[in-house]
Amino acid sequence: MRHRVIHLINPKTHSLTTRPLYLNRALYSPLAGLIAVAGAIPRDRYEVVLTDENIESIDFDLKADLIGISAMTAYVNRGYEIADTFRARGVPVVMGGVHPSFMAQEALKHCDAVVIGEVELVIDKLLDDLERGEMRGTYKSEKLHPMVGLPMPRYDLIKKDRYVNRTFVQTSRGCHQGCTFCCEPLMNGLKFRYRPIDEVMREVDNCDSRMISINDSDFFGTPERPKEVMRALKGRGVHWQAGVTSKLAQDDRMLELAAASGCTLMSIGFESITRATLTSVHKHVNRPETFVSLVEKVHSYGIMVFGLFMFGFDGDDPSVFEETVKFCIDANYDACAFSVLTPYPGTLTWYDMKKANRIVSFDWTKYDQANVVYRPAQMSGDELRLGQEFAYEKFYTPSSIVRRFPVRGKRSRLQWTIYNLFMKKGSATDRKEAIAEPTEAPEVSPMPPVLPLKREWRQAVLEGTGAPGPHPA
Ligand code: B12
């Protein structure tokens, strides 16, 4: 009997992290979501084909029983085009991932069904409906997955030679921070859910890679749990990196264990070097006065610091670019990414800016943190765009690279060079039109998969979506 086929597709985007830049390789694979979806599909019922349009073209003639498309906001328009093409050929399409999860009604104009949030608890119903010819509308689990017994992601489907980092392992979902610009607490909740350590290690041992990225939103979010994970990682011969917050990366015991278990790089969302700005976006965990010593300390354990910064907060004026980049070079960051603040649909930043009528463009393709889609408070859109460009250029000038190169110590010089080369090349741009043209607002309002816990935020979200507010207690 012919196996039924599901074709999973990640649409192309211009992101510097996921387009091939050197030796036909991208710095990161964008496939964490789709290999999790593939893992949840029963192997005895379906064959899965996986296409990452960033590195290969889509075979629109491939005979499939279902197309599954994953999308962040920046590439959802391309996702809609792909969905329209397949549907015109009579193939059913389901979409999922962060943008369709917040904008399900919009996505349903282009596909038959949308999975809101996690797939694992709704996949059976979705496939049963598909087989009955009844797959349509939204699929959303009543509860969040407890993270026990998660299916093994299908690493075998990834084209290994096309990415520097291709293995993303999740040890927890959720985040304790409630940063106003981030989707995570509204996608996965403010509380942590932890995967059993033995299940995480089974994945580590079977992912066919010795270089692992832990893709938790806040790996060091609690003091004890990451230590358990690191103790288990020790001796397994893997190198790993993770996204962590600035606070716990200051804990010596944590850093000691990180180094002993193979950590080579920590990505840290510093966002801004101004305390008032950090407070205004609810990033209370960051204290700029500790940033310099933090970088120094992490280096002393032989671990690189990838600093993530954002420009365009209401507290930012045109001096922010020069000041930030000087700070980053002087503090000896190993690599930095400088993003333009982007009001992703459904975040608090979105509701605040929408209410104040400050969002200019609703062209999702421009929501890539390299275009300006709103009116900044203390500078023009042009100043913001050029400022971001300036920061990248300045941070990755040959003299800055030479000055920051880790001549001494245990940081990996090879990994350091790869990151600096990719970031330098990926951020170089001749974009002239990075200020997005004004467009009409979408007809449908975003609805977060998980409503915020704090009463005033919840109210803001419900008002913004036009949904009735909660009943008074
Ligand atoms: C690790 C990570 C990355 C990694 C890898 C991403 C990946 N998808 O493999 C890298 C470094 C590449 C990355 C890059 C970017 N990222 Co990122 N990233 C994350 C992070 C921290 C975790 C993502 C992850 O691995 N999740 C684990 C998987 C298993 O979960 P998932 O993707 O949600 O998938 C589940 C469901 O959504 C669903 N599902 C997903 N797809 C589909 C498809 C179908 C058909 C179905 C049925 C279901 C389904 O099933 C999955 C299992 O339950 C998230 C925050 C978060 N926690 O989501 C930000 C996040 C997704 N990133 C974000 C952004 C903005 C970016 C960049 C644009 C940043 C930039 N300036 O370059 C780029 C885009 C690059 C690109 N082409 O993808 C935003 C997206 C916001 C938005 N509305 O679009 C997020 C939400 C963070 C935030 N700031 O809010 N990112």
Nearest protein CA to atom 58 of ligand 1, as residue: 184
Q: Which helix (H) or strand (E) holds 313?
A: none
Q: Which CATH superfamily is domain 167-427 in?
A: tm_1862 like domain (3.80.30.20)
Cα 241 vs. chain centroid, distance in angstroms? 15
C-alpha closest to that of 149 among 101, 190, 203, 68: 203
pLDDT score recorded for residue 328: 98
Residue 209: count of CB within 10 angstroms of its CB: 18
Distance of CA 323 from the midpoint of ligand 1 (Å): 30
**CATH 3.40.50.280 placement within the chain:** 4-139
Distance of CA 110 to the CA centre of its chain: 23
- Report residue 383 as tokens: 């100043």
Separation CA 228–CA 12 (nearest Å): 37
**Å from CA of 96 to ligand 1 middle:** 11
> What confidence score (pLDDT) does residue 2 get?
55
Nearest Cα neighbor of 311 from 400, 395, 412, 222 is: 395
Give the atom of ligand 1 at the shortest distance from the alpha carbon of 102: 83
CATH 3.80.30.20 region(s) of the chain?
A: 167-427
The predicted pLDDT at position 471 comes to 42
Q: Looking at domain 4-139, which of 3.10.20.30, 3.40.50.2000, 3.40.50.280, 3.40.50.150 is its CATH number?
A: 3.40.50.280
| Closest CA relative to residue 70, chosen from 86, 82, 59, 87 | 82
Radius of gyration of the chain (CA): 22
Would the CB of 94 count as within 6 Å of ligand 1? yes
Q: Ligand 1: which atom is nearest the Cα of residue 346?
A: 83
Question: CA-based angle 83:15:365, to the nearest 5?
Answer: 50
Whether 76 is in the pocket of ligand 1, judged by its Cβ within 6 Å, is no
Residue nearest to ligand 1 atom 16, measured at CA: 72
> What is the full per-residue pLDDT of the chain (473 aa) written as tens digits?
557 999 999 999 988 899 999 999 999 999 999 999 999 999 999 999 999 999 999 999 999 999 999 999 999 999 999 999 999 999 999 999 999 999 999 999 999 999 999 999 999 999 999 999 999 999 999 899 999 999 999 999 999 999 999 999 999 998 888 899 999 888 887 778 999 999 999 999 999 999 999 999 889 988 899 999 999 999 999 999 999 988 877 789 999 999 999 999 999 999 999 999 999 999 998 999 999 999 999 999 999 999 999 999 999 999 999 999 999 999 999 999 999 999 999 999 999 999 999 999 999 999 999 999 999 999 999 999 999 999 999 999 999 999 999 999 999 999 999 999 999 999 987 666 678 889 999 988 899 898 877 777 788 788 877 665 544 33
Both tokens of 161, joined, read 């030679």
Within a 10 A sphere around the Cβ of 317, how many other Cβ atoms? 13
What does the DSSP assignment read for 26-58? EEE---HHHHHHHHHS-TTTEEEEEEETTTS--
- Quote the pTM value: 0.96
Q: Are 25 and 425 in contact (CB under 8 A)?
A: no
